[in-house]
Amino acid sequence: MEQVAAGQFKAQCLQLMDQVQQTHQEIVITKHGRPVAKLVPVESDTKRSILGYLQDTVQIPGDIVSPLAEPWAAEV
């Protein structure tokens, strides 16, 4: 795990954020040699469970349970 002094982090913040995003490796930020914070990558929200994936995407405009008003014949 890489360690970076707080002053260096302040000067290179955006570059270090890009590095963490690309490498997925954490960076510990130190102050006077002691760890005070950790910069970690955020997991992508695109990984969704297959259960409930299509929830709230289908709309039923009318009654789908009641029989039709038209007569029809099933062929065997």
The pLDDT value recorded for residue 34 is 97
What's the Cα-to-Cα distance from 2 to each of 22, 24, 31, 73, rounded to whole Å? 14, 12, 14, 74
Of 35, 34, 38, 7, residue with least CA distance to 20? 38
The pLDDT value recorded for residue 66 is 82
Fold observed for domain 2-39: YefM-like fold (3.40.1620)
Q: Give Cβ neighbours of residue 37 (< 8 Å, ≥ 6 apart).
A: 28, 29
Q: Is the pLDDT of residue 60 over 90?
A: no
What's the Cα-to-Cα distance from 14 to each of 21, 25, 67, rounded to whole Å? 11, 15, 63
Please state the rounded mean pLDDT for residues 26-51.
Answer: 88
pLDDT tens for residues 8-32? 999 999 999 999 999 999 999 999 9
